[in-house]
Amino acid sequence: MISSMIRMGSEWAFSYLTMGTILISALVAITVCLSAGILFLLYLPKKRPQVLKPSREFTPNDPDIIIIGSGVAGSAMACVLARDGRKVTVIERDLKEPDRIVGELLQPGGVRALSTLGLSVCTEDLDAHEIKGYVIHNLEAKTEVVVPYPKELGSNKETKTTISGRAFHHGRFIMSLRKEAQQEPNVTYIEGTASKLIEDNGVVVGVQYKPKTDAEAKIIFAPLTFVMDGCFSKFRKSLVKEPVHVASHFVGFLMHHCPQKISNHAELVLTDPSPVLVYQISSDSTRILVDIRGIMPKNLKEHLLDFVCPQLPEHIQEPFTDGVMNGRVRSMPNSFLPPSPNERPGVLVLGDAYNMRHPLTGGGMSVCLNDVVIWRQLLQGIPDFTDYASIINALRVFHLKRKNNHSFVVNVLAQALYELFAAENKHLVSMKRACFDYFRLGGECVSGPVSLLSVLNPKPHILIGHFFAVALYAVYSVYQSEPIWAVHRVFYRSLMILMSACGILFPLLWGEVKSLILI
């Protein structure tokens, strides 16, 4: 009888394992087929829109470029194009120092892009704070893991130095960028509100704006206009096909003289239900950002003190309480806007007006600055900006290069990590725990992911490989936690983890690839 039961159990386990193998094989086959289909679509010849010519002739008094918005992208673009000999006019609604709770962490890849643009001086004299990595707190397990930025070889080929990021007051950084741009003789600043793009025969040839000190609207003409008016862009609706999605808000304020777990390291706290981000932005100020998903609490301060504060590490709780009670608590929507190319002659969209991702990974400014690096190189090969065919060809090259160089990984990583760290689905919660344990393994399990996070080696295949490695590590954890006889439960939980992982990653991958198909 015992032998019969063993035989029946073996057959039963074998049937489940066989079924699992078939399902996983089917999933792999579907993925391969989808990839092949996507590649086929990418290489299909596409009908290109006819490039029209405006009837208006531009004069030597007209600028070469109009830039709407003088944030990170707009200020950097104005400065470097002016240095390349272009006449640039910048229209900015308000030239006073901005005051925001995001845009304060520049990853090492953004620092490198700033250096490439010759704008490294813009992070000096800001009382900026050097960031060398992260400390991730898992208070459920009452432990943390240190995730340092990668090291590179020094000049003597033997010593290695850490490539660091910078954290600073957002407004100070913007004013420093604007100062560099305003010092260029080829740059003209107009303080006013851009209200309308002027078209001629289907080509954008200028901008209508209202000066801050004048009630009468004016028009300025140029062969090329960059729209870089930020996350609340008024021109996005007519220029970008994708809608903006807001899944959560960051509630932020400053903490004063907050101790750090490890010097020069930002801190990520995996609280319930959403993560909290902490990083020092000056010698005495530390920014804290609390993610709140869905509807904002009616009594926000009460929510922060009674629900969030007890979940924080002890060294943060006292300055957190003081910041809530005596500081300025503000909120900012965490927006997601996948890229969608729009080949409209005479106008280009860049920055948050074009592409946004969750700010959890702090990659937004790094994407903007790397985009400016690419556009500067492309525009250097186009002497005449009325050559709209060449600009549209450059636009297609830009979309391909930015995906391969940085934007694909930053966009997907930010959204995927947020969905993982704010997960309520029990299978994704298992994967969140596995992600933390995966980092604790050290070696490539840390250096690979942090090379993506820092925007120093943002390669899509590295991202996909580590994401599924975490999923498989979660499956391994399930195998360890279940008794040997519970094969059916191991199979079911493992399958659900893999399906949940695919449910996060595949839509994000499709959103990025779809924009290439539209080119």
Q: Which residues, 6+ apart, have CB-to-CB distance to 177 below 8 Å?
A: 70, 72, 75, 76, 79, 119, 122
Q: Is the pLDDT of residue 10 over 60?
A: no
Digit-coded pLDDT (tens) for 16-52: 434 444 444 445 445 544 544 444 444 444 455 566 7
Q: Is the pLDDT of residue 384 over 80?
A: yes
Amino acid occupying residue 318: E
Q: Of 362, 380, 408, which one is at a domain's C-terminal end?
A: 408
Do 375 and 462 belong together in one domain? Answer: no
Contact status, residue 166 vs residue 124, Cβ threshold 8 Å: no
Residue 318 forms part of a structural domain: yes
Residue 56 forms part of a structural domain: no
Which residue carries 């820092």 as its tokens?
454
Do 326 and 345 belong together in one domain? Answer: no
Do 181 and 96 belong together in one domain? Answer: yes
Q: Is the pLDDT of residue 4 over 60?
A: no
Q: Which of 49-53, 69-73, 270-274, 339-343 has the lowest mean pLDDT?
A: 49-53
Residue 457 forms part of a structural domain: yes
Spatial CA neighbour of 92 closest among 168, 172, 174, 173: 174
Residue 45 forms part of a structural domain: no
Structural domain boundaries enclosing 468: 423-519
Do 189 and 258 belong together in one domain? Answer: no
The total of structural domains in the chain comes to 3
Residue 155 forms part of a structural domain: no
Q: Which residues, 6+ apart, have CB-to-CB distance to 363 below 8 Å?
A: 107, 109, 110, 357, 410, 413, 414, 453, 455
Digit-coded pLDDT (tens) for 312-362: 999 999 999 999 999 999 999 999 999 887 889 999 999 999 999 999 999
What pLDDT shows up at residue 45?
45
Residue 159 forms part of a structural domain: no
Q: Is the pLDDT of residue 170 over 80?
A: yes
Do 434 and 497 belong together in one domain? Answer: yes
The CATH number of whichever domain residue 85 belongs to comes to 3.50.50.60
What pLDDT shows up at residue 159?
52
Q: Where residue 483 falls among pLDDT bands split at 50, 70, 90? A: confident
Do 351 and 489 belong together in one domain? Answer: no
Do 382 and 438 belong together in one domain? Answer: no
Residue 76 forms part of a structural domain: yes
Do 88 and 237 belong together in one domain? Answer: yes
Residue 413 forms part of a structural domain: no
Contact status, residue 207 vs residue 169, Cβ threshold 8 Å: no
CA 500 from centroid of its chain's CA atoms: 22
Q: Where residue 481 falls among pLDDT bands split at 50, 70, 90? A: confident
Give this prediction's pTM: 0.89
Do 79 and 214 belong together in one domain? Answer: yes
Digit-coded pLDDT (tens) for 196-219: 999 999 899 999 999 998 889 999
